[in-house]
Amino acid sequence: MSKKKFYVQENETIDQCLARMKEEGYIPVRRIEQPVFKKENVNGEMKYTPAGREIMFEGKKVI
């Protein structure tokens, strides 16, 4: 069984990512969302602030 990870690109919708998966012959079997943080220097302290999220689909090859 062949699996591949597909990341939703910066200027891409989830539907466009799923269509890209389908074109390559994969179906989604799992969705993973992770927060993305950025480092900021606030008053001499390094703090992490939320900067968005990363969405990834794991796809399984259609036979």
CA dihedral 19, 22, 14, 60 (to 10 degrees): -170
What is the structure's pLDDT at 53? 93
Q: Identify the CA nearest to 17 among candidates 63, 60, 58.
A: 58
Length in residues, the chain = 63
Instruction: Please give the average per-residue pLDDT across 4-20, as a whole number.
Output: 95
1: confidence class by pLDDT, cuts 50, 70, 90: low
Residues 6+ apart with CB under 8 A from 62: 25, 26, 27
User: Amino acid identity of 6?
Assistant: F
